[in-house]
Amino acid sequence: MTDNEVNAAILDAARNEGSKLHKFSRRIFNREHFKLVHKTKPSDMERSSKAGEDLFCTLCEEFGEDNFKRDKLVQEGSTQDFPVELRNGEVVSSLSQSAHLDRIPAVAFDNVFADISACGGAVAWLKSNREQTISQTG
């Protein structure tokens, strides 16, 4: 299958409201992708370890769950330990050769994205209710 065939199929589905892929194809073709409406900050996590989850769930209740997506990652085992071959041929741990590798923080993020149709309302709601929602769940 070629790129042109894929693009043609996306266009067909975007134009055909009866297609089961219409909603998704329309988003791709018209560049109506979900927009970032909330990025959990470290200070939020200090107040409540479930801050991102609680905001996401509350937004889904307020505006409908089909309008929101959540992207979360908390990296486990962030140690940058890998074998390093020294010039003399000896293989040692990277941690024994660097004072910095064991201080690299783990990757962690918790983002909420909104469908373009719900984006304005979600941003306004977050401005008014974000702090209160995090405080209630802490």
pLDDT 10s digits, 70-87: 999 888 766 778 999 999
To 5 degrees, how large is the angle CA 63–CA 69–CA 73?
140
Mean per-residue pLDDT, 118-137:
88
pLDDT for res 103: 82
Percent of the chain with pLDDT over 70: 96
Assign domain 33-137 to a CATH class: alpha beta
CA distances from 75 to 18, 107, 108 (A): 41, 5, 6
